[in-house]
Amino acid sequence: MNRFQNFGYGAIAVTLLVASTNVSSAQSLSVLHNFGSVSGDVQKPSYSGIVAQGRDGNLYTTAQAGGTGKGGAVFKLTPGGKFNIVFNFDGTHGVTPYGGLTLGTDGNFYGTTTAGGSGCCGLYSR
């Protein structure tokens, strides 16, 4: 179930601090998905560092463009590289998400869009 809260003007800011350790072993890079490579695909994932790992082990985030409505989408990637669009933004339910997603303690993902909704100024959604 998707629930949406309309915002007139305003912003939500969340600061996350991540502790890391230096890794001395060599690492390799593997391409999991080329964005925009097929019709209806997502494009321009913004702030790609804001990726949430779901309880199912898959990675979830947003892209500001593409999808079936071309207004951006929520998508997931499995660790093995399988790509699926989870939700397409359509204007009524937001458009142009920039901030990625956060996994709440209730198991739902939360995020914002920069436009769309009944107030035309974005949504905070679950």
Q: What is the pLDDT of residues 2-38, one digit of tens each?
A: 444 433 333 333 333 444 455 556 677 777 777 777 7
| Residue 101 near residue 76, CB atoms below 8 Å | no
The per-residue pLDDT for 8 is: 37
Decide: helix, strand or coil at residue 108.
Answer: coil
Give the predicted TM-score (pTM) of the model: 0.68
| pLDDT tens-place string over residues 80-125 | 888 899 999 888 888 888 888 989 999 999 888 888 877 776 666 6
**Spans of all domains in the chain:** 40-126
Q: How sure is the predictor about 55, in pLDDT bands with cuts at 50, 70 and 90?
A: very high
Decide: helix, strand or coil at residue 73.
Answer: strand
The per-residue pLDDT for 25 is: 64
